[in-house]
Structure 1
Amino acid sequence: MAVQSSILSRTALALGATEPALRLLLSILIAYPLAFVHRYFLYGKKPMQQHIFFCVSGLLIGYFNYGNDILHALITVGSTYVILVICGGTLASVCLVFGFTMGYLLMGYYYTGTETYDIKWSMPQCVLTLRLIGLAYDLYDGQKPTEELSAEQKKMSLKSFPSFLEVAGHTFFPSSFLVGPQFPMQRYLNFVHGRHTVGGALPDSISHGLQRFGAGCFYLALFQLGTSFYPDNYLISESFDESTLVYKCFVLAVWGKVTLYKYISCWLISEGGCIITGITYSGNVPPDPNTEPKWDGCANVILSVFEGASRFGHFIASFNTNTNHWVAYYVYKRLKFLGNRFISQAVALLFLAIWHGFHSGYYVCFLLEFIVMVMEKDLEPKLINNRTVKKFLEDPKIVPFVWVILKLYTLVFMGYCLVPFALLSFAKWWQVYKSVYFIGHLFFGLWPLYGRFVKRFLSSIDVRD
């Protein structure tokens, strides 16, 4: 292990990365040969063989990254299964699993956290936490009468209790154990039982998986290139602080996009491995066995929407989509009884912040997201339904200018909102915000004060026939 660590350390240093980051990248790549092994030797075989393969290979990947700390994942899975066996598919089991897994995760953050972004056993633990909470919810939904379930719940609920091997195989699935993507137990069971193909044939998914792999490598190269110019610590440098506000906004725009590329590259490469196995099957278009199948069932980013974003809503709809869907399904929609969507949204974002850890930067970032979305949802209908504004914005001579303004708006303020998420500690993100005069906080935070005048002005110029 010492020799291996020495080789990896030297390689990481030569690449300008850390050893944990290199191990993580290698682990994501190892999932590809494992996907091909399963595809050609285990696909369509007995489910138990597949569960064992996924469980063992996932745990070995975990051990390669975190050594004996992989025991934390095993303890969490084992304890969760005991809770589910004792309590069954009840609300009590949901509460206990939720409390135990989140508590264990937060304990991990407390004992291993530093002032920087850590690649430690708590990283796969946060993926595992959502997966196990989702399992408890799906079992709970499965005990309800069918007529009480929504269409989505009917699709994801579990009527029968899974075995420990099924839970372990789902949890440690090698292509998604470390960084996601998330997918429910029902998708995993459909996959291992061969329900994603016609006649037991191998899924025609290799080319789709390799395309996502290529896209992931491309974004990884962009990230490496971008960080060579604007690394995170540049934002707290004297050079940045002494620059003009216009230049600082330019840096935030470029830096923010590059920072997102780090996550996108990991998700795309991980998704490619999942696609090759065939677990990402999401039907045929149209629903006919003779038409082209879709393999986007585990997509975590919608590149066309992400790159074409002209408002924050586009980023939210296209970035980290699996986690966002998980929070919407298991948290936001479960709070419907509160009768207030803004409270439900605030609680969902608070959950996301807690799930990420204790650093103040997470809470500030998600608070800013909430404030931005409140403003956009308040202003956008007034613009869309205003005939005068709509006619002006659709003028061919104006369209290019509008596009540039919207791109600058999204890029600059997305970078602005990401500052605390990336820098984490109060001293760092406060220094950056102070350097740019808290422009984002003023622009979005004061909307309740100046927004009424903007809406009044828009109403005054709305000319109706």
Structure 2
Amino acid sequence: MPLFDTFFTLLSSTLQAPPDHLRILFILLASYPAALLYKSLPPNPNLKHLFSITFAALVYLGLFNLVRGFYELLASALVVYLISYTVSGKWAPILVFAFTMGHLSISHIYRQLYRISYDRFDISGPQMILVTKLTSFAFNVYDGQRSIKTLSEYQAKKRIQRFPSILEYLGYVFFFGGFLIGPAFEFADYRDFTTLALFSNPPASSRSSDSPILSSDETQSQMTDGQSDEKGYQKMKQEGKEAKIVIPNGFVPGMKKLLFACFWVVCLISFGRKYPMEWTLGEEYANMSFLARFFYINLASFCARFQYYIVWLLAEGACILVGLGFNGYDDKGKPLWDRVSNIDIVAYETANNLKSFAESWNMNTNKWLKNYVYLRLVPPGKKPSFFSTFATFATSAFWHGFYPGYYLMFMSSALLQSLHRNVRRKIRPIFLHTRYASYKPLYDFVGWFIMQSMISHLAVSFVLLSLRNTLYVWRLNYLICHVAILFLYVFFMMGLDKQLRILLKVEEKKEKVLILENLEQEALEGKKRRKIVGEEKDLLVSEMGLIEK
């Protein structure tokens, strides 16, 4: 029987919440005192790895009684470790991707076949986080074998040149602040964090002349596995390098995340449960007017996001408190704490375009999809194609499971994203020029309303999951989102935007003239540079005059 089972059962009946949801909330809150204990450990990376492994084992074996699940996660991690160690070249990450996604698929199919409610916690959730960690690890090891000239800036930063010990690797896999529901992060970030290399570049105001800026590669190359941070930096000092470690205090920003999460808990308890998406399946919803049905879905989708806000903010706050969330300093020397951010609530709720939505929601998963699926499918020197977009959304759906709703959501989103590029490229520029600048606030508002409504209506499939229920609700709303997508596709395919492009030619020339005028005024390269800019400006003015004629 799981620990505190009676306590969580009684609490569940009082709060009318599933016991496993309360267990997850308890673990996330317990990670805050655990973070303080973690910070008090001696500066030895091995102790930190052991702490995380022990904490994760206690949660799986004690609170959830998931003995078999814990061993499955451990076995999966060890298989990936073995593949990455023994297989060289591009086949290693490909094998890891296939193995981990296959293992995850078995868990998803088992859950779906036995109709296990999402009120009950099982191993598939942590396994989703683990897949992102293990696949990125395999690609990073592969990148460490390649020439740095063939890597992108991101790949060069995250590559692994020194293969980790099994203890360091498992410490990364079961890091106490993210093993349950995330956030997922790169192995290079974890290594820099545990070896204190993450804090070796203090703000300029606190550095002395004999304390150079050290990159993470430099600090990593100076340290060996199992070596304490103190010994590692003593070795650097003997070689003529003196690293100054400044660990900023993350208590205040961590507590802010905790308080913000508590705010959403209050919202969920007070009114979030009053607008469930499942209510759309009843007769009362069907008898409402179209506008009432339309806006109810927007409201229900908004309330459905509360639970994500709560768990992501709590997990991020613990990571900030322990120091993993530290992400360098801004121009004013103020610490940044967004390394493992998974949600930017303000940016998401105010987003007026699909790009802003993607960049502010489930951010770590989107980084994984971008860097290890989307960009990996693009040949060197080529631009991303629709296939890259479609494959990325398909992978995201596959990663979530096999309910039809996931595929309806992500395939529709792929079409929407492809369409959004045309809209952004051919319509948005009109409102960035002088003639139409006064309409930019109206354009932004309309864009916000349309995108929020589209995402909310597509999210119906993500919440209801079944094909029958999703299509039923969409039909009640006249498939309005898909009709709008189809209409705009036809609009661009038939070339009905030609008149817009004619306007854009004039406006683009005018904007380039303004840009070149600014360059001409601010150029510091001397008379020769100003002369070139002036000639280009005159040429554009001449071309613009011909177009207007």
Fold shared, TM-score > 0.5 on shorter chain:
yes
In structure 2, the partner of 1:171 is 173
| 2:58 alignment partner, one of 37, 57, 60 | 60
Q: How many Å separate the matches in 2 of 1:104 and 1:194?
A: 34
Q: How many Å separate the matches in 1 of 2:432 and 2:51?
A: 62
Alignment of 1:424-439 (within 5 A): 424-439=465-480
In structure 1, the partner of 2:224 is none
Q: How many Å separate the matches in 2 of 1:101 and 1:25?
A: 27
**Residue type of the alignment partner of 1:380:** R
- Is 1:37 equivalent to 2:20 in the alignment? no
Which consecutive residues of structure 2, in runs of 5 or more, have no partner in the other structure?
201-243, 508-547
In structure 1, the partner of 2:491 is 450
The CA deviation at 1:3 is 7.5
Describe the shift of the 1:402–1:166 C-alpha distance in structure 2 as closer, same or farther (beyond 3 A). same
The CA deviation at 1:4 is 2.6
| 1:382 alignment partner, one of 406, 426, 434 | 426
Q: How many Å separate the matches in 2 of 1:255 and 1:410?
A: 16
Q: Which moved more, 1:76-85 or 1:47-56?
A: 76-85
Q: How many Å separate the matches in 1 of 2:500 and 2:14?
A: 57
The CA deviation at 1:426 is 1.1
User: Deviation string for 1:304-349 (max 9, x for gaps)?
Assistant: 3213211222211111111101110011111112864211111111
The CA deviation at 1:11 is 0.9
In structure 1, the partner of 2:528 is none
The CA deviation at 1:245 is 0.9
Q: Which moved more, 1:447-456 or 1:435-444?
A: 447-456
The CA deviation at 1:104 is 0.8
- Are the aligned partners of 1:371 and 1:445 in contact in 2 as well (CA < 8 Å)? no
- Are the aligned partners of 2:36 and 2:321 in contact in 1 as well (CA < 8 Å)? yes
**RMSD in angstroms over aligned alpha carbons?**
2.3
- The TM-score, its normalising length taken from structure 2, stands at 0.78
Q: How many Å separate the matches in 2 of 1:456 and 1:265?
A: 47
In structure 1, the partner of 2:76 is 76
User: Deviation string for 1:11-41 (max 9, x for gaps)?
Assistant: 1232221111111111111111111101123
User: Deviation string for 1:165-204 (max 9, x for gaps)?
Assistant: 1111111111111111111111000011011225445431
- Are the aligned partners of 1:24 and 1:65 in contact in 2 as well (CA < 8 Å)? no
In structure 2, the partner of 1:312 is 354
- Are the aligned partners of 1:280 and 1:295 in contact in 2 as well (CA < 8 Å)? yes
| 2:330 alignment partner, one of 279, 285, 288 | 285
- The TM-score, its normalising length taken from structure 1, stands at 0.92
The CA deviation at 1:458 is 3.1
Q: How many Å separate the matches in 1 of 2:277 and 2:183?
A: 26
- Is 1:241 equivalent to 2:286 in the alignment? yes
**Residue type of the alignment partner of 2:340:** C
- Are the aligned partners of 1:300 and 1:322 in contact in 2 as well (CA < 8 Å)? yes
Alignment of 1:95-110 (within 5 A): 95-110=94-109
Describe the shift of the 1:417–1:16 C-alpha distance in structure 2 as closer, same or farther (beyond 3 A). same
- Is 1:363 equivalent to 2:415 in the alignment? no
Q: How many Å separate the matches in 2 of 1:260 and 1:125?
A: 22
Q: Which has the larger radius of gyration?
A: 2
The CA deviation at 1:119 is 2.9
- Are the aligned partners of 1:281 and 1:294 in contact in 2 as well (CA < 8 Å)? yes
User: Deviation string for 1:180-236 (max 9, x for gaps)?
Assistant: 111111100001101122544543111111111212222233233343221121121
Q: Which moved more, 1:9-18 or 1:245-254?
A: 9-18
Q: How many Å separate the matches in 1 of 2:428 and 2:392?
A: 28
| 2:138 alignment partner, one of 113, 130, 136 | 136
Corresponding residue SS for 1:41: coil
- Is 1:158 equivalent to 2:156 in the alignment? no
In structure 1, the partner of 2:368 is 326
Describe the shift of the 1:203–1:38 C-alpha distance in structure 2 as closer, same or farther (beyond 3 A). farther
- Are the aligned partners of 1:58 and 1:172 in contact in 2 as well (CA < 8 Å)? yes
In structure 1, the partner of 2:199 is 197
- Are the aligned partners of 2:41 and 2:48 in contact in 1 as well (CA < 8 Å)? no
User: Deviation string for 1:36-93 (max 9, x for gaps)?
Assistant: 1011234xx2111111111111222233235212221111112222222322x43222
Describe the shift of the 1:394–1:265 C-alpha distance in structure 2 as closer, same or farther (beyond 3 A). farther
**Residue type of the alignment partner of 2:105:** L
**Residue type of the alignment partner of 1:277:** V
Q: How many Å separate the matches in 2 of 1:269 and 1:27?
A: 10
**Residue type of the alignment partner of 1:119:** F
Q: How many Å separate the matches in 2 of 1:388 and 1:293?
A: 34
**Residue type of the alignment partner of 1:378:** N
Q: How many Å separate the matches in 1 of 2:271 and 2:457?
A: 17
- Are the aligned partners of 1:267 and 1:301 in contact in 2 as well (CA < 8 Å)? yes
Describe the shift of the 1:460–1:157 C-alpha distance in structure 2 as closer, same or farther (beyond 3 A). closer
Q: How many Å separate the matches in 1 of 2:416 and 2:268?
A: 26
User: Deviation string for 1:280-308 (max 9, x for gaps)?
Assistant: 2211113x8xx212111101112332132
Q: How many Å separate the matches in 2 of 1:346 and 1:223?
A: 34
| 2:416 alignment partner, one of 329, 353, 372 | 372
Q: How many Å separate the matches in 1 of 2:432 and 2:451?
A: 24
User: Deviation string for 1:346-369 (max 9, x for gaps)?
Assistant: 111111100000101111101111
- Is 1:294 equivalent to 2:293 in the alignment? no
| 1:219 alignment partner, one of 232, 245, 264 | 264
Percent same amino acid among aligned pairs?
A: 25
- Are the aligned partners of 2:261 and 2:313 in contact in 1 as well (CA < 8 Å)? yes
